[in-house]
């Protein structure tokens, strides 16, 4: 790996970009072949029911990222223009230090809802008294996890008043490098008879929680004020943050911008986009009301400091991560093997994406960048390809005329 800064990467042709990855990230010809082939129909047919094809979205590479001192190229699967360029730009401005990221142990929560319980408080006490034995029993259902240093590590019970009294029993499971949904659900379902007999009630729902408050990833970054446009930009971003922190309508859009980055990487690595999205938005609402997932402040030197913390239930083994050739490629490109490193990368990418959106919003607005990309699409619609499309897009953007007729005229058609 030579680094994540690939100057002019965006100007290269598609094949040339792929070849550059060989040098920059140790990608082999076989990896490139797998990338080109993508998901076969035969595999798709095994993944879902009633398969009829595959749905393709562009896969791009965000450059310039440095996380915990390591440079890496980040694959992003997204249909939205500007997102990858914005992340790369935000990562570049964060150099030379880059992002710092941490994560907690990958512990998820499996819930068992018990209804028609004779005495919920007494049931809770009996569960607590038998906790160690129940954890040992549950670990017999946790597959390989205990042998890998993970598995069921805790068990809690609480009485919930929800229009009726119910008892909620929760298993805390360290999922190691797996997202863990299957194992968690197996454990919780498998413990049904045992728990029912202890609490003297009936188990209804047995399912993991996507609000993974025990499995958090956090990223921080400091942007030197002079590298992002000075005091005015620092001030603008902090005020934009205050708006999102205080207003759920703005917070939803702010957090959507964060998820522009995160979801693109979740998808590229074959992880469950809905699980991560649900966890993120629920986490944004666990306090007094729905708010910004990120926080921006000024440090002692007047530089801009950003933080993002959110649940990150992602894995590097199992599910589509393993079966989808593009996901395997994505992990290889980043040189990531552990779920925690992946989670940390997600948080750093989300923070970069948020910074890029806020910087654009408090300076030139976001339409300028979008219109340049729109111009490219118009040039393509007029029949232009390759460098010619870029040249025509530049003219359209400069003239502020995005009609296909003008693009055709420039093409001489
Ligand atoms: C657009 O996809 C994302 C933004 O709306 C995010 C934001 O407003 O912070 C630009």
pLDDT bin (cut points 50, 70, 90) of residue 386 is confident
Displacement of CA 117 from its chain's centroid (Å):
39
Q: Which segment of 285-294, 337-346, 372-381 scores lowest on mean pLDDT?
A: 372-381
- Digit-coded pLDDT (tens) for 5-15: 998 898 899 99
Q: Is the CB of 254 under 6 A from ligand 1?
A: yes
| Residue 153: its H or E element | strand 151-161
Query: Which residue, judged by its Cα, is nearest atom 2 of ligand 1?
Result: 257
Closest atom of ligand 1 relative to the 250 alpha carbon: 8
A 10 A CB-CB count for 248 gives 15
Residue among 240, 260, 291 to mutate when testing ligand 1 (max atoms within 8 A of CB): 260
Which of 3.90.1640.10, 3.90.770.10, 3.30.450.40, 3.40.190.10 is the CATH number of 9-104+216-363?
A: 3.90.770.10
Residue nearest atom 6 of ligand 1, based on CA coordinates:
257
Q: Residue 377 and residue 372: Cα distance in Å, rounded?
A: 9
Indicate if the pLDDT at residue 156 is higher than 80. Answer: yes
Domain map of the chain by residue range? 9-104+216-363, 107-209, 369-411
Examine the pLDDT at 63 and tell me if it is beyond 80: yes
- Token pair of 189, please? 């379902």
Q: Distance from the CA of 285 to the center of ligand 1, in angstroms? A: 19
Nearest residue (by CA) to ligand 1, atom 1, is 257
Model confidence over 242-261: pLDDT tens digits? 999 999 999 999 999 999 99
% residues pLDDT > 70 (the chain)? 100
Q: Which residues contact 294 (CB under 8 A, 6 or more apart)?
A: 241, 244, 254, 258, 306, 307, 308, 350, 351, 354
Does residue 29 have a pLDDT over 60? yes
What does the pLDDT read at residue 301? 97
Interval between CA 357 and ligand 1 midpoint (Å): 6
pLDDT at 1 over 60: no
CATH of 107-209, one of 3.30.70.420, 3.40.50.2000, 3.30.70.260, 3.30.450.20: 3.30.70.420
Ligand 1: distance of its center to the CA of 103 in Å? 26
CB atoms within 10 A of CB 359: 23
Using CA positions, which residue lies closest to atom 7 of ligand 1?
A: 254
Which segments of 130-272 does DSSP mark as H helices, in order? 131-139, 181-190, 192-199, 231-246, 248-268
Average pLDDT over residues 19-48: 94
Residue 370: phi, psi to the nearest 5? -65, -40
Per-residue model confidence (pLDDT) at position 23: 86
pLDDT band at 336 (very low <50, low <70, confident <90, very high): very high
Lowest mean pLDDT among 4-18, 59-73, 171-185: 4-18
pLDDT, averaged across the chain: 95
State which ligand 1 atom lies nearest to the alpha carbon of 244.
9
Choose one of 256, 262, 308, 355 to mutate for the ligand 1 pocket test, by most ligand atoms within 8 angstroms of C-beta.
256
Q: Ligand 1 centre and the CA of 345: distance in Å?
A: 20
**Which 8-state DSSP code applies to residue 289?**
S
Please tell me the predicted confidence (pLDDT) of residue 2: 58
Average pLDDT value for residue range 150-163: 98
Backbone angles phi, psi at 57, to 5 degrees: -125, 155
pLDDT tens for 186-237 read: 999 999 999 999 999 999 999 999 999 999 999 999 999 999 999 999 999 9
d(CA 97, CA 90): 13
Task: Indicate whether 363 pLDDT > 80.
Answer: yes
Name the token pair of 97: 């230090």
C-beta atoms surrounding 154 within 10 Å: 14
C-alpha–C-alpha distance, residues 231 and 213, integer Å: 35
What local confidence, expressed as pLDDT, does residue 176 receive?
A: 98
pLDDT at residue 369, as a whole number? 76
Is 321 close to ligand 1, i.e. is its CB under 6 Å away?
A: no
List residues with catalytic annotation: 80, 256, 272, 370
The 10s digit of each residue's pLDDT in 86-133 is: 999 999 999 999 999 999 999 999 999 999 999 999 999 999 999 999
pLDDT value of residue 163: 97
The answer to whether the CB of 64 is under 6 A from ligand 1 is no
Distance 397 CA to ligand 1 centre (A): 21
Instruction: Return the pLDDT at 231.
Output: 97
Q: Please, how many CA atoms are within 13 Å of residue 149, restricted to the half-sphere of its CB? A: 4
Predicted local distance difference test score (pLDDT) of residue 370: 77
Residue keyed to tokens 């953007």: 397
Of the candidate ranges 157-161, 184-188, 373-377, the one whose mean pLDDT is the lowest: 373-377
CA–centroid distance, residue 202 to ligand 1 (Å): 46
């Amino acid at each position: 790996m030579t680094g994540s800064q690939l100057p002019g990467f965006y100007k290269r042709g598609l094949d040339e970009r792929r070849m550059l990855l060989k040098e920059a990230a140790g990608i082999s010809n076989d990896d490139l072949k797998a990338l080109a082939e993508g998901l076969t129909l035969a595999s798709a047919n095994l993944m879902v029911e009633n398969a009829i094809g595959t749905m393709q979205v562009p896969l791009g590479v965000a450059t310039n990222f440095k996380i915990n001192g390591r440079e890496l190229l980040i694959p992003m699967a997204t249909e939205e223009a500007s997102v990858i360029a914005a992340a790369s730009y935000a990562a570049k401005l964060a150099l030379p230090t880059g992002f710092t990221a941490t994560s907690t142990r990958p512990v998820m929560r499996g819930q068992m809802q018990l209804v028609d319980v004779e005495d919920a408080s007494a049931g809770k006490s009996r569960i607590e008294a038998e906790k160690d034995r129940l954890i040992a029993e549950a670990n017999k259902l946790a597959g390989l996890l205990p042998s890998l240093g993970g598995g069921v590590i805790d068990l809690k019970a609480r009485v919930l008043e929800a229009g009726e009294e119910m008892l909620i029993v929760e298993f805390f499971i360290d999922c190691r490098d797996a997202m863990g949904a299957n194992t968690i659900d197996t454990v919780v379902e498998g413990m049904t008879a045992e728990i029912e007999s202890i609490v003297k009630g009936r188990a209804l729902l047995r399912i993991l929680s996507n609000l993974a408050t025990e499995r958090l990833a956090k990223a921080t970054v400091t942007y030197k004020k002079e590298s992002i446009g000075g005091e005015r930009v620092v001030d603008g971003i902090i005020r934009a943050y205050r708006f999102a922190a205080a207003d759920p309508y703005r917070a939803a859009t702010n957090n959507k911008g964060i998820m522009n980055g995160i979801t693109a990487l979740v998808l590229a690595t074959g992880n469950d986009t809905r699980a991560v999205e649900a966890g993120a938005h629920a986490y944004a609402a666990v306090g007094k009301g729905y708010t910004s997932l990120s926080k921006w402040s000024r440090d002692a030197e007047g530089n801009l400091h950003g933080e993002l913390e959110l649940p990150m239930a992602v894995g590097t083994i199992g599910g589509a991560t393993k079966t989808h050739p593009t996901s395997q490629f994505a992990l290889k490109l980043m040189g990531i093997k552990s779920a925690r490193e992946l989670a940390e990368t997600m948080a750093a990418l989300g923070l970069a994406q948020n910074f890029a959106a806020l910087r654009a919003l408090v300076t030139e607005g976001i339409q300028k960048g979008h219109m340049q990309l729109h111009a490219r699409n118009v040039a393509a619609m007029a029949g232009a390809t390759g460098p010619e499309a870029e040249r025509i897009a530049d003219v359209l953007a400069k003239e502020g005329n995005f009609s296909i007729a003008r693009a055709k005229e420039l093409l001489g058609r």
